[in-house]
Amino acid sequence: FSISSAQIVCQNKAHLTVAVVAWKTPQKRPRTGLCSHWLSKLDPSGGATLGVWVSEETLNLPPPQVPLILVGPGTGVAPLRAFLMHRHYQIQT
């Protein structure tokens, strides 16, 4: 799972992008990813609360007038979604 929201937009919430991991062992026993499976069973309309910690920003976007080309090999769409959310906020304010 990855955080896929911009803190400046969502403030005290974090959106997650989750790929549920499931496979079979060589002995054909089903297995699932511990966290992705648990997250997939939560009811988003139920207001699930998870404990998290926040660290300082490690990536910074250029100013809004600078075009972006977003490529995420290995990272998936989550950080790209957060960048686009942040950029949209920058342009609107």
| 37 in Cβ contact with 21 (< 8 Å) | yes
Amino acid of residue 22: A
Digit-coded pLDDT (tens) for 78-91: 888 998 999 999 88
Are 10 and 81 in contact by the 8 Å Cβ rule? The answer is: no
**Percentage of the chain exceeding pLDDT 90:** 25
Q: What is the pLDDT of residues 41-67, one digit of tens each?
A: 888 787 777 777 777 766 777 888 888
User: Has residue 26 got a pLDDT over 90?
Assistant: yes
> What's the mean per-residue pLDDT of the chain?
85
Could you report the per-residue pLDDT of 3-16, keeping only the tens digit for each?
899 988 998 888 88
- Report the distance separating Cα 31 and Cα 29, nearest Å: 6
Residues in the chain: 93
